[in-house]
Copies of this chain bind each other. A is one copy, B any other.
Amino acid sequence: MNGLDQDSKPHFRSVLIYGMGMMGASLGWALRSRLSSCTVTGIVRTEKSAAFIRNNGLADRVLVLPDLSDCAALDLDSHDLVVLGLPVRSIVELIPVLPATDTLITDMSSTRREVHRSATERPDLRFVGAHPMCGSEDTGPAAFVKDLYVDRLCILTPGYLSEVRHANQKKHREDARLVEQFWRAMGMKIYYLDPDSHDELLAYLSHAPHVVSSILALWALSNRTVDNSIRESPMPITGGGFKDMARIAGSNPEMWTDILLSNQDNLIASLEHFVREMRDIIECLKNNEKNDRQDWFEWFARARRARNRLCWYSEDR
């Protein structure tokens, strides 16, 4: 098996990408472009996907597995790394039934606790979870993106060492380093986080904003004046601000149903927090004495600073 050699560059001679949708197909491209000596094997569900992967040279070998959980006959041992490229729900169903193997396993799921819980039930597997943050609204291998992973953030969630049997802690730490090196080799920056913090963080920075964007679209269209006006106007009335805020409401409903149902508690808590903040602002708007220009100016300026900090923009952006 692979190990750390002198210059800390791991040798991944053979990588299996288990599920080649947008993310997996883009990973195939990244491997061919960045680790050209590595043999890439892909698993897909349909002949159509397999043909696309082959025609675009996104893998050296493609296996078609109509039921992706039907993994009993798979040879995982001949690879240095298995990357699970399936949605969270499928991963949670797959991990418990994976054949025993000594091969390192990672994934790309955007919520971590369920995957992590599922992996701790299989202490025989060398699993180090990862969330490469480079989603897209588009799905399927044909939506693959060149250089998708370059200069993007990968959150690694190997979990607490205390969860690993003492004898295996050193190995688990080494495995995390190997997975880190793999994603670094794809061009990513690495940030370690425990699965609980990850899912809370993502509720705030991705999942709840997504729900807010969807509510925004439904809320606006349910107003009668809006509905009438968009019928009568000679062109869209929505400006750049609305379009930007509603953009992610156009994302893939299936993927987002998965994400929502795998992070419900954090979503509920963060959305309730959002409602409290909205209520405060509504109260300020209603309280006429408080409608001091200076107060609102400072509130907007504070929001602008918060946004700049969150997005790492300089103050003048």
Contacts and interface: CB of A to CB of B under 8 A. Distances in A.
A271 B285 contact: yes
A201 B221 contact: no
A239 B303 contact: no
Given A220-B204, A273-B219, A285 B300 contact: no
A277 interface: yes
Contacts of A267: 285
Interface string A157-181: 0000000000000000000000000
Contact of A244 (B204, B222, B245, B253): B245
A296 B261 contact: yes
A310 B239 contact: no
A212 B271 contact: no
Contacts of A229: 191, 193, 197, 201
Interface in A171-210: 189-191, 193, 197, 200-201, 204-206, 209-210
Contacts of A251: 241, 300, 304
A205 B189 contact: no
Interface in A250-272: 250-251, 253-254, 256-257, 260-261, 264, 267-268, 270-272
A281 interface: yes
Contact of A310 (B197, B242, B261, B272): B242
B232 A191 contact: yes
B205 A237 contact: yes
Given A229-B193, A311-B238, A257 B293 contact: yes
Nearest to A241: B248
Given A191-B233, A274-B278, A304-B253, A268 B286 contact: yes
B273 A223 contact: yes
A217 B303 contact: yes
B253 A300 contact: yes
A143 interface: no
Given A244-B245, A303-B215, A309-B221, A153 B237 contact: yes
Interface in A76-119: none
Contact of A133 (B237, B247, B264, B275): B237
Given A215-B303, A238-B310, A226 B201 contact: yes
B278 A242 contact: no
Contact of A210 (B235, B241, B260, B271): B241
A135 B246 CA distance: 18
B282 A271 contact: yes
Given A225-B200, A234-B153, A238-B311, A220 B278 contact: no
Interface of A: 133-135, 151, 153, 155, 189-191, 193, 197, 200-201, 204-206, 209-223, 225-226, 229-230, 232-239, 241-251, 253-254, 256-257, 260-261, 264, 267-268, 270-275, 277-279, 281-282, 285-286, 291, 293, 296-304, 306-313, 317
